[in-house]
Structure 1
Amino acid sequence: MNALIEHYQILGWGLSALVLGTFLLAGTVKGVIGLGLPTVAMGLLGLAMLPAQAAALLIIPSTVTNVWQLAIGGQLRPLLKRLWPLLTMVALGTGVGSWLLGMSAGPTMSRALGAALLLYALSALCLPQLHVPQRHERWLGPLCGFLTGLISSATGVFAIPVVPYLQSLGLARNQLVQALGLAFTVGTLALAAGLFSNGALGSGELGASLLALIPALLGMWLGQLLRQRISAQVFKRLFLLGVAGLGLHLMISG
């Protein structure tokens, strides 16, 4: 508890309010469209703190909400059987990236975060729906997993290229949601291990991350209510436009 209080005292009241508000918004986005919590959290918090600090804060909210997501759907075993090469390489790529790259301080990593956000948004907005034949999964899945791990180790963003890859497999909606939760869970746990090995994830950061879980869960609940009242497609397009704007700002400002 003392470590938690000290961590938020160091952040200050203004930045602490930004953290809690960010996770409320990120949870709401995830509740509506089934993804976006790390993307929103890293994008907004990256405006005010180093990527490694932002990534440490999202570990527990991301893990808990993704486990919640992957536990619903009843397709966990067949998805594990089909996607284990991808998941293994997500973990391996994150480990290699944490060792070689890590989330160093300075404008380079902030610009890398911005580039990852912009690339994710533009690919989702502009690229047509792709379809990967099952015979190509044996090599393309591991490649996408390894690249996703490398990118997430430096930026905290798990979306590229694993999200468009999973969307190209022709999975049913519930299967896709569960597969995304599975990939994000593996990525988050691997990122946590990388941050810990680099000294960026201690008791203070874990306590702060645990507190951020409360607004994230509240946001997911609000998002699920909101999903019944608005068009998820329109909401997703607005979300992607916002992510693109955040990414461009981070790239320019560093």
Structure 2
Amino acid sequence: MAIFYVDGKFVASDRAVIPVDDLAVLRGIGVCDLMRTFQGKPYFLKEHLERLEQSARAVDIVLKWRLEEIKAIVLETLDRNREMTEANIRIIVTGGSSTDFITPQGNPRLIVLVTRIPPLPPEWYQNGVKVITVNQEREVPEAKSLSYIPAALALKKAKSLQAVEALYVNRDGFVKEGTTSNLFAVLNAHLVTPEDKVLKGITRKVILSLAGKIMTVELRPIPLTELLCAQEVFITGTNKGVVPVVKIDDTTIGDGRIGEKTRQIIRALDEHTLNFQKE
């Protein structure tokens, strides 16, 4: 059975609880971050913790812990679950208990969950996937919030249409990101990704650092009309890596097959990950 860290204690997963008056329960107020391990080592732990801190700041939750303290807790939780060869690590900071049941009052709770990584279908990477678009925007794009109802509904719609992800399109017709992924498109031999008002993933950051050796990179808005004419499209995420997209709604992207630039990016990320494991 997995061991979790919950509000100052390490407990078995079936004994992991928080008070029902926590704002995470009452209002969905809180932030989180997700990372994975490679060869048992957390991938970009420092960057994920910095993003957690940024998310908390964006929703006005004050962290009681220094990032070094959270890092030590993460590593100990991982060590207590060493039977998992590879794992997901979820860090959650709740809004804490509140006397008015709506306003964070400076007493957040820290939770660290370590769980096995579920396998993803190999055909995603062999044949590419379909995604859909939804007219939707994040309330606080810069924060990885606990409030996932809009994302859950969008994903439910995607699955009903045999798609694996839903891309958010804002009121101005620009495609921003997926529910749990960042978006990239190859447009006129340039790699383009939205920059403003998106949750900037750590995998996105790695891709941007690698892609400059392959093609010119542009950080700019992408209108939906332009995205549907892209030569190649892919999405990225902590657990997904790089997932090629061959269909958006009813539009086939390019020739409906995984593009060569996308394959180059996948190879570059694989090599980067392999080097990380050797460090």
Mark yes or no: TM-score above 0.5. no
Question: With CA pairs under 8 Å and 6+ residues apart, which has the higher RCO, 1 or 2?
Answer: 1
Higher strand proportion: 2
Q: Which has the larger radius of gyration?
A: 2
What TM-score does the superposition give when structure 1 sets the normalisation length?
Answer: 0.27
What TM-score does the superposition give when structure 2 sets the normalisation length?
Answer: 0.26
